[in-house]
Amino acid sequence: MYDRILVPTDGSEISAAAEKAAIAFARAHGSEIVALAIGQPQPPLASAEAAMAIDPGLDDEVLLATARQRAQHVADACAAAGVACTPLAMLDYAPAEAIVATADSQGCDLIFMGSHGRRGLSRLMAGSVTQKVLADAHVPVLVMRPQKPHTHE
7 within 8 A of 112, measured Cβ to Cβ: yes
Instruction: Give the contact letters, 7-26, x = binds to another protein (CB under 8 A), - = no.
Output: --------------x--xx-
48 within 8 A of 20, measured Cβ to Cβ: no
In this structure, which amino acid lies at residue 60? D
Q: Which is nearer to another protein, 68 or 117 (CB)?
A: 117
In angstroms, give the least distance from the CB of 126 to another protein. Answer: 4
Please state, in angstroms and rounded to a whole number, the distance separating the CA atoms of residues 33 and 56: 32
- The pairing of strands 4-9 and 110-114 is parallel
Q: Which is nearer to another protein, 77 or 137 (CB)?
A: 137
Positions touching another protein (CB under 8 A) are 1, 21, 24-25, 28-29, 115, 117, 123-126, 130-132, 134-149, 153
